[in-house]
């Protein structure tokens, strides 16, 4: 019997999510069944492996909206719409699954957003071509691996909050994402914040926290 | 002749700051004199060393508001007041100078804020005693070294955006701040974002970016 | 012919255990058969892989109490009961197998204990709800991955010895357990001690060493 | 005005100590004056630098028992005597200041103890000559740098709890203490626990926690 | 008596340089005197410390062209002019001394070059304003610390060889230059090459090697 | 729909390549089909996995020149011949696949080159036997793992530009290639430049950039 | 056609060995066939994988003495007997395959030796029981993982050359062998030398070099 | 009162040395006085700092042979002459102090030796010019920093035992000596052994152990 944190929505504005990637097939199955029985409120599962998904009973999967690119699944639909708009900007195709995790978490949280991929700085014109679109967003999530130079360039071009998601994409010194992480943390662009490597979910949660400021009187 | 980025305020909502810590005494002196001649707009100098400060001419220091705990100096006063309120929460006395850098940057940026120190989780009641005050803020900046456990505890208690500033305070595995940094990045509290070690300035800049959302329609 | 340390029980209060995880299937099989022939005293096997278990003859398995969550197996039953009570406290479901290794080692060593899971600090009320139970224990084993913030919070709340077991649970900067390990070592709570990553066995052995103090005159 | 945790003694069995090494001269001076005014109970200052000590007023130093090898100072005397006996065992002369920090913290906590130095395993007979003395202790604190081989040898020879304090002594791969730390954590001796590098204070606090088990019925 | 490699010019196209930073004052003095006696050909000293310089006799300093920003000194003038033009592009004022080491080594090697500073990507317009100048060069040396994003942006904008010099400028995860180094190595811009941290000398030597291709038939 | 950088050839002298190793089978298939439809110009695919290759339709593979040692594939043939000659020098058989990636990229780029393998410095005569051949090249690409001593020895023997490609070949401290990388970066031979671990493609691209200098007036 | 170093025996006293672990099945097969055709002198293959072995033709395997514990194979028998005797001492069963690689390389090199396993320092009496046997050897090879404390203890007990082979055995901070490596390098026992992690082959080669001193007049 | 290991000479063939670098001025002074009173046998002090030396009383310094390049001092002269000859080979002037520590330890141990400096592989002819001299030695100690390529080249050229001493000379990735250390450990030359960074003393002790083999019947 797992001890769920059902009051998290009231306390921090977001319901508890289930990080499946660090759990066994049996553990995920048990938690999912418990959740499905305990609540009809929306719940998000992240890093849900193919085998973990296959082990879920129809009592769960009937109420599940699953996506294999992002490895996310929504139980009981999505949360009510929130104000604001987020731009999820990814450097390359290789970063697509992490960007998709951010995108799906935003969808789950009722947040409108645009997904802008393949704008790495090795071809700077691609980013410039999308800049108006990006500047129209209230918040920018920048997803990049390798040198993560996209983070600094974006941070110098927009006034909105920029949340960087370093990815583990790459090889040699890039593999694992530490170079992208450190590059984002050491960014010469002021006021950029960073989440853990490949943590598209966390970046979206950070955006949700920030969006709560919208419409609030100063 | 340095190439200042005078349009940064218009582009990203904050003026360019001068990071003195990585520059020589001569370089800081030259830049400060140039700035003082070039503009009457507010400008911030960070990590201004004692010797760098001593080398500035009175033409600069006459217009300088300096603080030695945070090693910050404001040239030409502060920016206009902005809406919103930030809580700067620090785990211990040892984190005070980094918290002060965040506090001074907020002051420079026209942001109201509270400074709450000595609430490390080894004595959890101290944090709980200040929780209402913290929850009243629009944004929380969490400053902590060593294990940075304060970040996760705060992230689980408040719904506002939480920006973690790991500090280099400590010894052994803590020294340098990498443990605090990684602990904050791996936080079990969802939606926490992180800046570079000891980067109180950057956390405040991130808060300024976020505060631009206030009062905006969704 | 392996050279067993049969006198270890007399010398350090615990019999030699067999760490199977670093041995080949053939080596484990040979050692287990030797042990089963050499002694009828209780012996513990840890990190016993599924294939290693399958390769054991019935002459061994007939006398084996195996558990697949913890990957432990007890040959020839358990040791006599010892005084004292231990609380094994784990942050999340993902830490369950490491907590189970600690729990099974305590069971093998004749130590009463409680297993308290899913009390991570992102939902602090869950920990507070179990605090009386935890405070009733003579020793606390704290099992946590990622930021291991549970260790510091527990260390600040109880007077008993706290042994931290960092786990390799997580991804990005958390994966491998180094962040949890360093966070526990740098804990702001005084007097917490730490064992190797995922070493539930070692934490239980440390508890056994400590329990020998009970009932002893000062 | 600092926020002291005056209830820590009641909560975790030890009063809050002041870690001076990470604080400025001004901060230590202010905290010490506050403490001296606020309480006549014993308080411990650790890593008190020479310049920090010199800056303390006589109102503080008159009530201070200072020791320059360990960099510790006791305000208002020591705590009442506790049952049990601890052996502080150090590999070499170079580890003496860390061993002294453990020793002084034990003295402050009212714990009897023996200090046994220069018993590194490169001359194993030196350790064997002191083994009866070490085995007579209820708890062993093992202080060692470089390869920290003393920890494993001790852990295999005694049944008491062994708390390892890796030290930053050495050069090349040893300097900083990480090799000693990892060696202690990876010890082949079961049930050894470890504290942060150079953390003699923490090891003594751990011993104090353990000694609370003495005389308690099982 | 040191064993100089006087044939290096013939073998690899550049004379042996003296890296003073890793030598004692006495060693540098002895080598400089030997060099001054042995040859009237141009020789370069790098990382020549202030105290090392002060210890040189006038028999050496009379023939020495010294520069304190770059810590370089040329004995016996410079080498004959070579074809080609190099652009040394630096992200910020803090990188100036490393850029100056590259610039002085090029001057010593008889290579025309331009020094373009303060074009970090946080203010991308500054780089764009100088792009024609940079594109006119045969080789680009990119000097940048922190995230080294300048390297990737430059690599995507010019067709010339780009040699990156990561600098140790920065703090937190940037300090030491490893982040800049790894970021440059993991650059998304194809065909960028990298030298050691702060190695302005080496980048200039690489440029000299490359310039030997000019005018050569294919 | 991916956003290709079709103008890269005009901008930096080389067309965009597709790094398949960090992409899913579906992503590579989609990109390859798009490319085959969009252009009849030569395009290079690198790190193309066996399964990725198998998933390509005949509309792509009919126009594909694939090589399994280097994991490269050329779509629509190769680029026009360029002036100059490159020597690709590899320390051992184990480095052959990385050397082949460099060789194939040169072939794709229209560059004549020689491949010289098995000349590691443990048998220095092997290198000396090939030295005339190596010295005849305009550029040298040095491919080596483990200690990468070949890089320094080559750098001291030839005047041409030397681009080092550290490889991940080896075990223990060598595995992953970081030792080879750092050894090449710290080379005592002046003017050697380095690319990412196993980045044979990048070294060839660097050579292409450098070859553009040939025949150009100084 | 590979470039073998057939003169290595004359030059350094040992023939070139083939490290198969970093080569492909095809490469090993080609090299083995070439060797078998080129020479009837003894040759050693190390880290020969099961699949690599299976791919060898009978023309090779007919002349091959293979051992699967050590993954070594001898082509054309062994070298002539050499004077001297080596003790290969291993801490635990888990180190057996590395110890076997050393043992087999000694056998190939014509060196008499004893293999002494399961003498880890957690049960010091086991080592003491074998000490006379170890002290009778001319050279000691110490094989140990985890904390590698055996190395220091041995180094303090014998006067012969001690060559340490750290192994990658273990988990958590031990896994990979870096802790054992650094522990051996930082050993408090003077005059111990170290080879790469798991490099039983290299330790045996070092012993062969040393044995050449035997019988030589001083 | 320190616990000296006076029997070490009998046990391991070398007397205990005093590593002063990790001890305080007071500790070194006390140990030296004790030693001078306790024995008239030769004793070696290493890493003796200038201030430590200045604090020694004349009762010690009268019997002390001190050398400031190597920071070594011999009390009571040197040990009797031993058979054999060692070559200490250093890559550059910067490595001279480490080479001198090896040389002085050999002198103390009664071992004839040659010191050969400035033979780094960037100018390979310098090494070749001294090769006959080096090959005449019974043992080679190779001292090198940065890339430590000298180790591999030497290892491939001589049949004698080669002991590598990586040095902390260099900057960027070389500083601290880890690159040189790992490069030596990963050397492609078989049978090379390695000691800790800057450990010239240890390399000489290893040579002394090996020289005990000379003249011994096989």
A199 touches chain C (CB under 8 A): yes
E173/A185 CB distance under 8 A: yes
Among H144, H181, H183, H191, pick the best mutation site for testing chain F contact (most F Cβ within 10 A): H183
Spatial CB neighbours of D133, under 8 Å, sequence gap ≥ 6 = D87, D114, D116
Q: How many whole angstroms separate alpha carbon B31 and alpha carbon B55?
A: 12
Place of tokens 């009051």: A7
Question: Burial level of C104, CB count in 10 A (0-12/13-18/19+)?
Answer: buried
Indicate whether C2 pLDDT > 80.
Answer: no
- CB contacts of H155 in chain F (<8 Å) are 122
If you count them, how many residues does chain G have?
Answer: 218
E174 touches chain A (CB under 8 A): yes
pLDDT tens for each residue of chain H, 218 residues long: 567 777 788 788 888 899 999 999 999 999 999 999 999 999 999 999 999 999 999 999 999 999 999 999 999 999 999 999 999 999 998 899 999 999 999 999 999 999 999 998 988 889 999 999 999 999 999 999 999 999 999 999 999 999 999 999 899 999 899 999 999 999 989 999 999 999 999 999 999 999 999 988 76
Indicate whether F5 pLDDT > 60.
Answer: yes
| Res. D218 pLDDT band, cuts 50 70 90 | low
- CB contacts of G128 in chain H (<8 Å) are none
Indicate whether A2 pLDDT > 70.
Answer: no
F149/H146 CB distance under 8 A: no
- CB contacts of A94 in chain F (<8 Å) are 19, 22-23, 27
DSSP code per residue over G107-176:
HHTT-EEEEE----GGGHHHHHHTHHHHHTSSEEEEEE-TT-HHHHHHHHH--S-EEEEE----SGGGTT
Residue of F nearest to G26 (CA): F69
Question: Which chains neighbour E (Cβ–Cβ under 8 Å, 3 or more pairs)?
Answer: A, B, F, H
G194/H192 CB distance under 8 A: no
- The larger pLDDT score, comparing residue F86 to residue B9, is at F86
Mean per-residue pLDDT of chain C:
94
Q: Strands B43-46 and B72-75, how do they pair? A: antiparallel
F128 touches chain G (CB under 8 A): no
Task: Note which residues in 50-89 of chain E have CB less than 8 A from chain F.
Answer: 82-84
G22 touches chain F (CB under 8 A): yes
- CB contacts of A121 in chain E (<8 Å) are 121, 149, 152-153, 156, 188-189
Place of tokens 């224990």: C137
Q: Could you report the per-residue pLDDT of F58-113, keeping only the tens digit for each?
A: 999 999 999 999 999 999 999 999 999 999 999 998 899 999 999 999 999 999 99
Facing E155 at nearest CB: one of A122, A148, A155 = A122
Which run of H or E residues covers position C67?
strand C64-67
- CB contacts of B5 in chain E (<8 Å) are 122-123, 125-126
| Res. G218 pLDDT band, cuts 50 70 90 | low
Indicate whether F15 pLDDT > 90.
Answer: no
From residue G95, give the alpha-carbon distance in Å to each of C28, D76, D153, G146, G165: 13, 54, 19, 10, 10
From residue C12, give the alpha-carbon distance in Å to each of C40, C72, C195, H19: 19, 21, 18, 34
Question: Which chains neighbour H (Cβ–Cβ under 8 Å, 3 or more pairs)?
Answer: D, E, F, G
Q: Could you report the per-residue pLDDT of H76-103, keeping only the tens digit for each?
A: 999 999 999 999 999 998 899 999 999 9
Facing C172 at nearest CB: one of B174, B179, B186 = B186
The minimum CA-CA distance between D80 and chain H, rounded to whole Å, is 30
SS3 B93: helix
- CB contacts of H162 in chain G (<8 Å) are 209
C3/G174 CB distance under 8 A: no
pLDDT for residue B16: 85
- CB contacts of G4 in chain F (<8 Å) are 118
G22/F169 CB distance under 8 A: yes
- CB contacts of A153 in chain E (<8 Å) are 121, 124, 149, 153
Q: Number of residue pairs across D and G with CB atoms under 8 Å?
A: 119
Facing A177 at nearest CB: one of C123, C145, C172 = C172
> Domain ranges in chain E?
8-75, 85-217
Q: How many whole angstroms separate alpha carbon D128 and alpha carbon E63?
A: 66
Average pLDDT over residues C7-36: 91
pLDDT for residue E215: 82
G155/D183 CB distance under 8 A: no
The stretches in chain E having pLDDT less than 50 are: none
Question: Burial level of G119, CB count in 10 A (0-12/13-18/19+)?
Answer: buried
Question: Which bin fits G198, alpha (ψ -120 to 50), beta or left (φ > 0)?
Answer: left
Average pLDDT over residues A116-141: 94
Mean per-residue pLDDT of chain F:
94
G117 touches chain C (CB under 8 A): yes
Indicate whether C150 pLDDT > 70.
Answer: yes
Q: Could you report the per-residue pLDDT of C65-123, keeping only the tens digit for each?
A: 999 999 999 999 999 999 999 999 999 988 999 999 999 999 999 999 999 999 989 88
F191 touches chain E (CB under 8 A): yes
The minimum CA-CA distance between A32 and chain E, rounded to whole Å, is 39
Helix axes H149-157, H178-185, angle to 10 degrees: 30
- CB contacts of E43 in chain F (<8 Å) are none
Spatial CB neighbours of A120, under 8 Å, sequence gap ≥ 6 = A91, A92, A126, A127, A144, A149, A150, E188
Helix axes G149-157, G178-185, angle to 10 degrees: 30
F8 touches chain A (CB under 8 A): yes
Mean per-residue pLDDT of chain D:
94
| Res. B218 pLDDT band, cuts 50 70 90 | low
Q: Could you report the per-residue pLDDT of F155-173, keeping only the tens digit for each?
A: 999 999 999 999 998 999 9
Q: How many whole angstroms separate alpha carbon D20 and alpha carbon D28?
A: 6
Which run of H or E residues covers position H139?
strand H139-144
Facing D197 at nearest CB: one of B123, B126, B173 = B173
Of all residues in chain E, what percent are helix, strand and coil, respectively (each to 5)? Answer: 45, 20, 40
Q: Could you report the per-residue pLDDT of B99-133, keeping only the tens digit for each?
A: 999 999 999 999 999 999 999 898 888 999 999 99
- CB contacts of C125 in chain A (<8 Å) are 7
User: Which stretches of chain D are assigned E, i.e. beta strand?
Assistant: 18-19, 43-46, 64-67, 72-75, 85-90, 112-116, 139-144, 162-166, 192-194
pLDDT for residue G215: 82
Predicted complex ipTM: 0.95
Q: Could you report the per-residue pLDDT of G19-67, keeping only the tens digit for each?
A: 999 999 999 999 999 999 999 999 999 999 999 999 999 999 999 999 9
Tokens linked to D143: 């202080």
- CB contacts of B8 in chain E (<8 Å) are 122-123
3-state secondary structure H30-72: HHHHHHHHHCCCCEEEECCCHHHHHCCCHHHHCCEEEECCCCE
B42 touches chain D (CB under 8 A): no
- CB contacts of F186 in chain E (<8 Å) are 196
Facing D212 at nearest CB: one of C8, C159, C197 = C159
F159/E82 CB distance under 8 A: no
G149 touches chain H (CB under 8 A): no
Question: In CATH, what class is C85-217?
Answer: alpha beta
The minimum CA-CA distance between G180 and chain H, rounded to whole Å, is 13
Q: How many whole angstroms separate alpha carbon C213 and alpha carbon C210?
A: 6
**B4-18, C37-51, C151-165: which has the minimum mean pLDDT?**
B4-18
The minimum CA-CA distance between A133 and chain C, rounded to whole Å, is 30
pLDDT for residue C48: 98
Residue of F nearest to E154 (CA): F12
Q: Do chains G and E touch (3 or more CB pairs under 8 A)?
A: no
E3/H171 CB distance under 8 A: no
Nearest in space to B105 (alpha carbons), one of B205, B209, B195: B205
Q: How many whole angstroms separate alpha carbon H99 and alpha carbon B179?
A: 37
């Amino acid at each position: 019997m797992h001890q769920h944190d059902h009051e998290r929505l009231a306390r921090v504005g977001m319901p508890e999510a289930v990080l499946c990637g660090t759990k066994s097939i049996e553990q995920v199955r048990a938690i999912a069944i418990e959740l499905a029985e305990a609540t009809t409120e929306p719940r998000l599962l992240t890093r849900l492996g193919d085998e973990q998904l296959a082990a879920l009973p129809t009592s769960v999967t009937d109420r599940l909206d699953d996506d294999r690119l992002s490895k996310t699944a929504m139980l009981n639909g999505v949360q009510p719409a929130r104000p604001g708009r987020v731009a999820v900007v990814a450097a390359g195709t290789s970063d697509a699954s992490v960007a998709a995790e951010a995108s799906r978490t935003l969808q789950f949280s009722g947040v409108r957003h645009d997904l802008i991929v393949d704008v790495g700085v090795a071809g700077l014109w691609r980013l410039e071509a999308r800049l108006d679109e990006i500047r129209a967003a209230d918040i920018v999530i920048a997803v990049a691996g390798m040198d993560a130079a996209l983070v600094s360039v974006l941070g110098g071009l927009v006034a909105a909050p920029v949340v960087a998601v370093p990815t583990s994409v790459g090889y040699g010194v890039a593999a694992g994402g530490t170079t992208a992480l450190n590059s984002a943390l050491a960014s010469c662009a002021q006021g950029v914040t960073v989440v853990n490597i490949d943590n598209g979910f966390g970046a979206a949660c950070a955006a949700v926290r920030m969006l709560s400021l919208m419409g609030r009187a100063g």
